Amino acid sequence: MTAVARHIALVPAAGSGSRFGAALPKQYTDLAGQPLLRHAIARLASHPSIDRVVVVLSPDDTRFDALDLAGLRPIIEARRCGGDTRAASVLAGLRSLAGQVTPDDWILVHDAARPCLPDSVIDRLVATLADDAVGGIAALPVADTLKRADADARIETTVARSGLWAAQTPQMFRYGVLLDALEHADLDQVTDEAGAVEARGLSPRLVEGDPANLKVTYPRDLQLAAQLLAAMGDVS
Ligand code: CTP
Ligand code: MG
């Protein structure tokens, strides 16, 4: 491992937001006066450990070029290579970096739909994983008791929560490790980068995330996201 590995944020932003259910793709939904995607990019670009921010768009994206990125560090670039699934979008983004990165460089995959990423989560990932050969993910230990439901929404069983964590992003892996994992993955089945890395027999680290780092999935998530953003202060 080299000590000079760079940290490249990769933001998959080629989804349609079907659960969000708006006419506009979810990543362009307004939150406190800016599209969700701009918030996510701004959080990453304002962190001093991040060297580049690569945004993966749908090939027919019509809105990215209108984003006002003027106040942000000029380390942001877009690639119109998004695919049918999140994993396909991430893999296409990784392939587009071939020749520009080394296998040891770090890739921090971060959802466009997580606009409130605290600096402290990036700090912890970068510090905890610095000498790691594989990488790891931001995640939170599950606090609630978990129930498995039957088809009638009745409790079938109580799932022991001991040892269970809820995955967030960023998910931070060595470029070479992540490319290999996604090249071998069933892209329709993989739900996060760690899952693909696990399937190669590796064990990603769990690094403490933050409850503020919520993913906007449904319209109801916007109100809480707006409150969290207001409490965090502006980065640009
Ligand atoms: N994403 C992507 N390419 C896809 C699907 C998703 O780049 N084919 C991105 C989304 O734009 C989002 C992130 O992956 O930034 C997390 O996905 P999710 O929150 O599930 O967003 P959507 O897939 O757009 O929403 P839904 O699953 O409700 O359709
Ligand atoms: Mg999705």
168-213 tens-digit pLDDT: 999 999 999 999 999 999 999 999 999 999 999 999 999 999 999 9
Percent of the chain with pLDDT over 70: 97
Cβ density class 23-53: b for 16+ within 10 Å, e for less: eebbbbbebeebbbbbbbbbbbbbbebbebb
When mean pLDDT is compared across 41-55, 76-90, 185-199, 220-234, the lowest value belongs to: 220-234
CA–CA dist 129, 63 (Å, integer):
35
- Record the tokens describing residue 233, joined without a space: 């202060």
CA–CA dist 29, 44 (Å, integer):
19
Provide the pLDDT for residue 233.
78
Is 51 a residue whose pLDDT tops 60? Answer: yes
Provide the pLDDT for residue 234.
66
Q: Is 53 helix (H, G, I), strand (E, B) or coil?
A: strand
Q: Whole-model pTM?
A: 0.96
Mutation test residue for ligand 1: of 86, 116, 137, 192, the one with most atoms within 8 Å of CB? 86
One-character DSSP codes across 129-164: HTT-SSEEEEEEE--S-EEEE-TTS-EEEEEP-TT-
For ligand 1, what atom is nearest to the CA of residue 19? 28
CA–CA dist 105, 225 (Å, integer):
31
Residue with tokens 């600096």: 119
CA–CA dist 93, 175 (Å, integer):
11
Mean pLDDT, rounded, for 116-139: 97
CA–CA dist 67, 38 (Å, integer):
7
Helix (H) or strand (E) holding 80: none
CA–CA dist 198, 171 (Å, integer):
13
Provide the pLDDT for residue 70.
93
Q: Of the bound ligands, which one is closest to the alpha carbon of residue 112?
A: 1
pLDDT digits 0-9 by tens, 68-124: 999 999 999 999 999 999 999 999 999 999 999 999 999 999 999 999 999 999 999
Mean pLDDT, rounded, for 15-38: 96
Is 2 a residue whose pLDDT tops 60? Answer: no
In the structure, what pLDDT confidence band is assigned to residue 3 with cuts at 50, 70 and 90? low
Provide the pLDDT for residue 236.
61
Pocket, ligand 1, Cβ cutoff 6 A: 12-20, 26-27, 56, 82-86, 89, 111-113, 215, 217
